[in-house]
Structure 1
Amino acid sequence: MEYVTHLQKEDPSVATTSVHGLSYTYPVQYYDFHIYYYAHNKKSLEESDALRAKLLADFPEDSANGSILVKKLPTDKIIGPHPTQFWEADVRRPEVFIKVLSWFQLYHGNLSVLIHPQTGDDLEDHTNRALWLGEKVTLLTDVFPPSDGGIPEFGVKGGLRIKPEDFDAHKTVIN
């Protein structure tokens, strides 16, 4: 995935620390939004591109400081458990999550959106713990390796996998 928005190099904690002291229920550490589209369908692709542009325009501060991390596929290749193309928005701060969730409820249009927590169990997070907006898309769950209990480091491409109990104490460093 290619990052469209990034954590601030000087202070990544701006995007990861709740300004209201809020937290998710353990072991949830953050949420991923997967927005599905069909690259071979011009209308679907244009709707997806317009939705991503609207998200960035409607949340300029949260996009600029990395509170909303937007990632997209570098090609039309299908990856992971996802049966079609998608782009992604990741949110760590609970107060930003609720704004983004309600925004997607209003604006997802014809696109399906998978919303799932990051707890260290990818299969459960993408299936039994997932929320859907629009039509539910059947995922290719056989691609999930056995759970190692780790969560991908928030906002760091190819970052570490951190145990949920160590997530809050982990210091994110952007090189």
Structure 2
Amino acid sequence: MEYVTNLPKEDPSVATTSVHGLSFTYPVQYYDFHVYYYARNPKSNNESNQLRDKLLKDFPEEAANGSILVKKLPDDRVIGPHITQFWEADVRRPEVFIKVLSWFQLHHGNLSVLIHPQTGDDVEDHTNRAFWLGDKLPLILDSFPPESDGGIPEFGVRGGARIKPEDFDSHKTVL
């Protein structure tokens, strides 16, 4: 995935620390929003691009400071467990999550959006712990790494380590 927004190199904690002292219920560490579209369908592709542009326009501060990490596919490939193209917004601060969630509820249009926590259990997070806006799409669940991995992808670090849920809060992100 290509990062459209990034964590600030000087101080990544700006994007990862709640200004109100809020936290998600353990073991939830952050949330992913997957916005699905069909790259070979011009209407769907255009709607997806416009929605991503609107998200960045409507949340300029959060996009600039990395509180909303937006990633997109570098090409029209499909990567599992997803059955079609998508772009993604990741949010670690609870106060930003609720704003982004309500924004997507109002603006997703014809696009399906999978919203799921990151707890270290990929299958549960993408299925039983997830919710959808728009049509629910099937997922290819056998594309996940072995369940024994149990780690959460490091927030905002391309190819970052997978961190145990219990170590996530004390982990220092270094860019």
| TM-score category of the 2 structures, normalised to the smaller one | over 0.9
Query: Taking structure 1 as the reference length, what is the TM-score of the superposition?
Result: 0.99
Measure, in 1, the Cα distance between the counterparts of 2:49 and 2:74. Answer: 13
Measure, in 2, the Cα distance between the counterparts of 1:164 and 1:21. Answer: 19
Calculate percent identity across the aligned residue pairs: 82
Q: Which residue is 1:16 aligned to?
A: 16
Offset at 1:74?
0.1
Any idea what the Cα deviations from partners look like across 1:12-66, whole Å, max 9, x if unmatched? 0000000000000000000000000000000000000000000000000000000
Q: Identify unmatched segments of 5+ residues in structure 2.
A: none
Measure, in 1, the Cα distance between the counterparts of 2:38 and 2:154. Answer: 28
Measure, in 2, the Cα distance between the counterparts of 1:83 and 1:64. Answer: 30
Measure, in 1, the Cα distance between the counterparts of 2:91 and 2:144. Answer: 22
Q: Which residue is 1:124 aligned to?
A: 124
Q: Which residue is 2:171 aligned to?
A: 170
Aligned length: 174
Secondary structure (helix, strand or coil) at the match of 1:39 reads coil
Measure, in 2, the Cα distance between the counterparts of 1:146 and 1:106. Answer: 36
Offset at 1:145?
2.3
Secondary structure (helix, strand or coil) at the match of 1:75 reads coil
Q: RMSD of the TM alignment (CA)?
A: 0.5
Q: Which residue is 2:7 aligned to?
A: 7
Offset at 1:149?
1.2
Q: Which residue is 2:72 aligned to?
A: 72
Query: Taking structure 2 as the reference length, what is the TM-score of the superposition?
Result: 0.99
Measure, in 1, the Cα distance between the counterparts of 2:62 and 2:144. Answer: 31
Q: Which residue is 1:156 aligned to?
A: 157
Offset at 1:136?
0.2
Q: Identify unmatched segments of 5+ residues in structure 1.
A: none
Which residues in structure 2 correspond to 1:138-149 (within 5 Å)? Answer: 138-147=138-147, 148-149=149-150
Secondary structure (helix, strand or coil) at the match of 1:105 reads helix
